[in-house]
Amino acid sequence: MFFITFEGIDQSGKSTQLKLLAAAMEKAGVPILSVREPGGTPLGEKIRGLLLGPEHTAMDPWTEALLYAAARVQLVKEVIKPALMEGKVVLSDRYIDSSLVYQGIARGLGVERILDLNLGATGGLMPDLTFVFHLDVDASRQRLAGRGTAEDRIESEPLEFHRMVEAGYRQLEELYPGRIVGLNGGETPEQVHARAVAAVNERLGFSL
């Protein structure tokens, strides 16, 4: 039915907010499916291993962009499109905007080229609504350090890379005001959730 995506830098709270919205929808009897990128299919999970393994230091930015797109195609065709056809609301932790920002902007491959690649690959499937969770890069690094687990290949990029990602999300928000709703990931999870619910009600006609 509707396709809703959750975007933002690491630790911005997007995954927590996805779970909270999923729970609110389930409580209201809305059929939902939650997915996360990269991965979510047998082939996609293998590609995820290639992408995030810290040992793949020699990966060219285009290899990276193509692998994210490849994992995405499998997820769209095997999981997302069938669920939408069944009338479900699909909630995805990251989607095309991650590629636009991480590969298009931060890696410098160009937003237009990455968009073309991904639109071709997915058959043009764009989200109905996208939440971008903004968080100061220093706060994100602090939360990451507090997590206590090892950093993956993208997380271990230098600070400057993460600043470009956060700035890139702000650029996208200006580019697509009709689709993207920016939220402040520095607020409490309850506050952010209330704003997300309000946006879903107002923009997609739910009464959660």
16-45 residues near ligand TYD, rule: CB under 6 A? 36-38
Q: Work out how close the CB of 64 gets to ligand TYD at its nearest, in angstroms, rounded to a whole number.
A: 7
Per-position DSSP letters for the chain, written without gaps between them: --EEEEEESTTSSHHHHHHHHHHHHHHTT--EEEEESS-SSHHHHHHHHHHH-TT-TT--HHHHHHHHHHHHHHHIIIIIHHHHHTTPEEEEES-HHHIIIIIIIIS-S-HHHHHHHHHHHHTS---SEEEEEE--HHHHHHHHHHH-S---TTTTS-HHHHHHHHHHHHHHHHH-TTTEEEEETTS-HHHHHHHHHHHHHHHH----
Point out the residue whose Cβ comes nearest to ligand TYD: 102
- The count of residues interacting with ligand TYD (CB under 6 A) is 16
Nearer residue to ligand TYD within complex by CB, 29 or 43:
43
Q: Does 133 bind ligand TYD (CB under 6 A)?
A: no
Nearer residue to ligand TYD within complex by CB, 36 or 134:
36
Q: Work out how close the CB of 98 gets to ligand TYD at its nearest, in angstroms, rounded to a whole number.
A: 3
75-114 residues near ligand TYD, rule: CB under 6 A? 93-94, 98-99, 102-103
43-72 residues near ligand TYD, rule: CB under 6 A? 52, 68
* Footprint of ligand TYD (CB under 6 A): 10, 15, 36-38, 52, 68, 93-94, 98-99, 102-103, 152, 154-155
